[in-house]
Amino acid sequence: MTETAFDAPGYVSRMGLLIDKAYLEYRHLATDTHKLQALYLRTYLWIASLLATFEIGAVIRFKAGELAVASGLAAPFLVLVGLSLLLALATFAFCIDALRGRRNLEMPLGDFKFLSDKAFREAQGDADALFYQTVLVSLGAGISHQAAAVHQRGRKLRAMSWMLLCASALAVLAAGVTLAA
């Protein structure tokens, strides 16, 4: 049985490739996914503001007597419009909160001073592999942090989607009440 010698240069080159792939994953989570989620948030912001504008306009027209609602349906109309307006304004506020920029980005490689000191100490020996392992651990922590942030924004986006759908459905029902008159 022959024992194979440890291929240190090959190991170091594979670690370098692994670090490159991990950094691409970090960049995808930190920039590409964030941009897509921000695009959805801005779209939801516009939809919520349009819904709120239409609902406020409907209430103003109703109070001014310009909007005909059957006499027995005035209370349900106001309840539907009020609930729709409340959901639209809540979605608007959540969108503003999610877009504020509290992204709390971590540096993907961690503490650069620590890494440069470690690289200097290891340059005196043949310890490139240990340095690459340290970098890979830092990248792994950054990827985990970004994945958690993306997941949290995704949950908020799903909640806002449901709120906008409910607000839209209530607005359609309120419009149906005015058409019944």
Specify the pLDDT at position 40: 94
Specify the pLDDT at position 67: 76
- Contact call for residues 103 and 115 (beta carbons, < 8 A): no
Specify the pLDDT at position 7: 65
In a domain, 3, yes or no: no
Tell me which residues of the chain have a pLDDT lower than 70.
1-8, 70, 101-129, 180-181
In a domain, 29, yes or no: yes
Number of domains forming the structure of the chain: 1
In a domain, 123, yes or no: yes
pLDDT digits (tens, 9 = 90+) for 9-38: 777 777 778 878 888 888 888 888 888 999
In a domain, 43, yes or no: yes
pTM (2 decimals)? 0.73
Specify the pLDDT at position 151: 92
Specify the pLDDT at position 95: 92
Distance separating alpha carbons of residues 3 and 61, to the nearest angstrom: 87
Specify the pLDDT at position 178: 78
Residue range(s) defining the domain that contains residue 56: 9-179
In a domain, 88, yes or no: yes
In a domain, 61, yes or no: yes
Distance separating alpha carbons of residues 119 and 134, to the nearest angstrom: 10
In a domain, 151, yes or no: yes
